[in-house]
Structure 1
């Protein structure tokens, strides 16, 4: 895990504890207040008129009157955005109502009818659904590419290619992408690069440091951390920030102050939570890997980029400084009934979507939507979100569930 903030030289946990809020601006309160409001009053007609003209300009919001209407931000949402900018090294951050909205808003910001977009084939399924329905209906050509393509992605570029959309590790199967090489290839052609960086968070991978234009996060996951908030965050560099911001203004997709408060509170402990997630997850992944390598009849390959046996491990080791708490493994030669038996036998793992919270979860991975990266993994793929429970208890729970799956065969 990164120990220093490259901007200020302080440790990351120190930065998380102090960024985004100056208590002395709020009468000494440690956390910024939750500001609820739609209407903002102006001191005079001239100020109101000047603000009205400039309200859609991302770089002039503070020149006349900082706050003009609730959809343009509040002190609470600004505090979170400032904290995220410090983590990302970004020119600006927008908050949106969900992680999926954090994907759709930047795509809508930089794509128009007749454009071509390249999306990694291992992408989060709701992203694919949006691309295959909304984007295609709007006249955008959607093409998927294999995650291991690297700089050869340039062979897929067309004159009308406008966006390269990455997600690494890949959703559910955790393939790694060579982000620096792909970003360099795209930049040479003036193509905007975006990445869904939810798995790593800015603590373990900083996309903008690797040349990416747009960094996307589901704040629902590790920033929130407690399975009680839904929010998305999108951060951009100087060149892409105005267009991103103005698109959010046009769409009206603003995050609210209550959710921003919860995510900002979650940020304060995200560093130490991720340390625990990483430690326990790696221990369990290595234990499962040992069972697979020792010939266990039910445990197959473990899909975790921090494992030396994983095909994309070298890229992960080069570009990332940590691993979060979600990975998958294969129930070898198993049927769907055995996968269900495994899930139903678990006592500490909830059966539920999402991840990044304090509790452990399990899902049965669906991969039939994939095209250019489709492959047979030799069994059923189980995705585990490792929470903050004790390692020994989680390992014992998985072990007894594996026996249940074996017995169901």
Structure 2
């Protein structure tokens, strides 16, 4: 079945729930067993109701749905996207290991590798995500993980994931990929050599700006290791949140399609603005990563970047402070549009980022794109007036 059908059918079984379309919310801490043998035989694992912290059928329904959409061997839910990053690294790395990280990853990923993992005795290096050969040059015999994100956080470069995966696997390293931007619908990581994926399900999978969640998927061979590592950290997610994520998945296909179409329309409009030096959107034919995006991705989301022509911080603030439809907030992926200033140059160590002027990150929500461009037009008027 195709993705549009899968998102409406996965993770639910009306025949097992008195014909009710949606699965119930099943809360639990203690699980009772009828015999000593059944008590001792119930080991925590996928679909096994053993103790509330390990999950209930509501949890397992969400994990099954996401794993199937992703093409993975299994999935585990955790409390946030950052939690998914930390749990994955702790499950796969130990003292004396080395991790190679793309230089354009989400900044909290860098905080994890440079902070927590360093304290745990794990070394790290960064590489140019546009030069796969750098992975070959920087990989060590103790490298266990190569960590990727495509498009890159804030700057939206497209990485040749398959080429990097081939190099990593030739040296015995696993490939971890953050698939939050594209979701399981628009990028199929296991078709490109990825071993583990991370999702901030707070974003598009949750979709309504009211949910904190992370999801880790993996090949079948790695699933037990990751699930055990997450259980060792005592991570769990409420069944209410899992139910909300399942409910949101039902509309993921139609929501993401609208985010993509409106995002491209707004991005094309921005390309014609004199205040804009560059639009960082891989679905635009003018983008340097467009050919790779077109080869590997099935679509685009509503998140992209803008580089303005030179403008003062006061002028940028004048533009952003009085936006009517674009809010300012640190998340994205919900139904509402967002616009914030960004500073990619502060999060680079292996590459240089030299923008023409201030950088903005834009998330195009589900509003009418004509209303959004009108809001941006008024913002640009304030920018010019304050310059």
Is the pair's TM-score, using the shorter chain for normalization, greater than 0.5?
yes
- Within-5 A mapping of 1:9-408: 10-51=1-42, 54-55=43-44, 58=45, 66-291=48-273, 296=274, 298-367=275-344, 368-408=346-386
Residue 151 of structure 1: CA displacement? 4.1
Deviations 1:313-354 (A, max 9, x none): 111111001000011111211121122111113110011111
Query: Is the CA contact 2:105–2:152 (under 8 Å) kept in the aligned structure 1?
Result: yes
CA distance in 2, matches of 1:324, 1:172: 14
Deviations 1:174-216 (A, max 9, x none): 0111100000111111101100110000100011111100011
Tell me the SS of whatever aligns to 1:240.
helix
Residue 131 of structure 1: CA displacement? 1.2
Query: Is the CA contact 1:328–1:383 (under 8 Å) kept in the aligned structure 2?
Result: yes
Residue 256 of structure 1: CA displacement? 1.7
CA distance in 2, matches of 1:312, 1:320: 11
CA distance in 2, matches of 1:280, 1:250: 42
Counting matched residue pairs gives 386
Q: Which runs of 5+ in 2 are unaligned?
A: none
Query: Is the CA contact 1:16–1:269 (under 8 Å) kept in the aligned structure 2?
Result: yes
- Output the TM-score relative to the length of structure 2: 0.97
CA distance in 2, matches of 1:240, 1:68: 21
Q: Which runs of 5+ in 1 are unaligned?
A: 1-9
- Output the TM-score relative to the length of structure 1: 0.92
Query: Is the CA contact 2:186–2:297 (under 8 Å) kept in the aligned structure 1?
Result: yes
Query: Is the CA contact 2:128–2:134 (under 8 Å) kept in the aligned structure 1?
Result: no
Cα RMSD (Å): 1.2
